Amino acid sequence: MDTLQLLISGLANGCVYGLIALGFVLIYKATEAVNFAQGDLMMLGAFIAIGLTNAEYMGLPFLPSVILSIGIMGVIGYLLDRFVIRLMFGQSQVAVVILTIALGFVIRFVAGLIWGHEPHALENPMAGGEVRLGDLVLGMEDVAVIVVTLLLTFGLFAFFARTKLGLAMQGASQNQLAAYYMGIPVKRVQGLVWALAGAVAAIAGILFAAKGSVDPSTGLLGIKAFAAAVIGGFGSLPGALVGGLIVGVMEPFAARYIAAGYSQIAPYALLVAMLIFRPSGIFSQTRVKKV
């Protein structure tokens, strides 16, 4: 029973990692760039929701403010692409990586200016709620996190596999010029992906802030989400979720069964091992360049 409890809390954490990883994968799938600021976007989304909902700020009712903050983050994602990322059109992956790291710095700084550096929790109707399954007692928030994440992942997966726009996004990533010639509005598609990533970040942030608390450096969680994305194989949406769950579940078990001092290394050690032995992840997409 104890093990099961650990498993559930690990799964809930893993879902948040998975959601951030989902953001990486979305942008990677559509633009071949990696957004190192995804964790910071999540933090920003959480703070926007807190700013709208919590009594000390605006005190709006929970549901409308959640929807509003997801919308705001979508717009922020779009604007980031429109005014910053798009100027980098066609430059190397690494340049975009450095740019997004810098963006993360700036977002952290701005969030610190507005909301301060103390941890905040999101006031929400689920707080303290419980779901009982036999002897098992689950936090309402944990259940919500798991359900929302599953729905979102498979929704996005279906979107990329089935809809025209989703396919256009994939095409745009594999060869911009060819996609452009095929009549895919590459730039608009890229903007939409960033908006989508912003919205996903907001959802991750809201779920995270409902479960615990956030402060401006929470965005560094993004690094663990990298582990998730790499394990899943950058470019695979279900892979990101699976990777997130692996990392999330590993943490509480490592803390329980491995000596203190070694346990927090576990996700990074797994990341390093993964990169050494199977860099293309569980769901591989890498092939050899043709000359």
Partner 1 sequence: MRIVFKTDYMQDIRPWKDGHQLSLYLILLALVVVAPWILNDFYLGELTNVLIWAIAGLGLMILTGHTGQASLGHAAFLAMGCYANVILLEQGVPFVLAFPLAGLITGIVGALVALPAMRLHGIYLAIFTMALSILVDDIIVLTEPWSGGVSGKYVGPVSLFGLEIDRWGTPWAFYWLVLGVTVAVTLGYINLLRSPMGRSFIAVRDSEVSAQAMGVDVARTKTMSFGLSCMVTGWAGALMGLYATVFNNETFTVIISIQLLMMIVIGGLGSIHGAFLGAVVIGFLPQFLSISKEYVGMVFGGSSVAIPGLEVGVFGLILIAFILFEPMGLYGRWLKIRTWFELFPFYRKDMFKRQKSYLKTERLR
Q: Which residues are near partner 1 by CB under 8 A?
A: 31-32, 34, 84, 87-95, 97-99, 101-106, 108-110, 112-113, 117, 173-177, 216, 223, 226-227, 230, 234-235, 261-262, 264-265, 268-269, 271-272, 275-276, 279, 285-291
Name, in order, each residue with C-beta under 8 angstroms of 282's C-beta and a sequence gap of 6 or more: 231, 232, 233, 236, 239, 242, 243
CB of 238 to partner 1, least distance (A): 18
The maximal CA–CA distance of the chain, rounded, in angstroms, is: 61
Total Cβ atoms within 10 A of residue 183: 7
Question: Would you state the structure tokens that stand for residue 70, as one six-digit string?
Answer: 């997801």
Q: Indicate the residue type of 258.
A: I
Neighbours of 69 (CB within 10 A): 27
Element (H, E) at 244: helix 237-257
* 48 vs 172 by CB, closer to partner 1: 172
Compute the least distance from the CB of residue 21 to partner 1, in Å: 12
* Nearest distance in Å: CB 178, partner 1: 8
Burial 43-64 (b: 16+ CB within 10 A, else e): bbbbbbbbbbbbeeeeebebee
- Give the SS3 label for residue 94: helix
Residue number with CB closer to partner 1 (162 or 278): 278
Least distance (Å) from partner 1 to the CB of residue 149?
A: 23
| Cβ nearer to partner 1, comparing 32 with 123 | 32
- The length of the chain is 291
Shortest Cβ 65–partner 1 spacing (Å) = 26
State the DSSP string of 18-48.
Answer: HHHHHHHHHHHHHHS---TTHHHHHHHHHHH
Which is nearer to partner 1, 110 or 126 (by Cβ)? 110
Quote the least distance from Cβ 7 to partner 1, whole Å. Answer: 25
- Distance of closest approach, residue 200 Cβ to partner 1, in angstroms: 19
Say if residues 12 and 248 touch (Cβ distance below 8 Å): yes
Nearer to partner 1, 3 or 91 (CB): 91
User: Would you state the structure tokens that stand for residue 276, as one six-digit string?
Assistant: 């050494």
Phi, psi of 54 (to 5 degrees): -60, 145
Toward partner 1, which CB reaches closer, 101 or 143? 101
Specify the residue, 68 or 275, whose C-beta has the smaller distance to partner 1: 275
Beta carbons of 107 and 219 less than 8 angstroms apart: yes
Q: What is the CA radius of gyration of the chain?
A: 19
Which residue, 132 or 290, is less far from partner 1 as judged by CB?
A: 290
CB of 79 to partner 1, least distance (A): 14
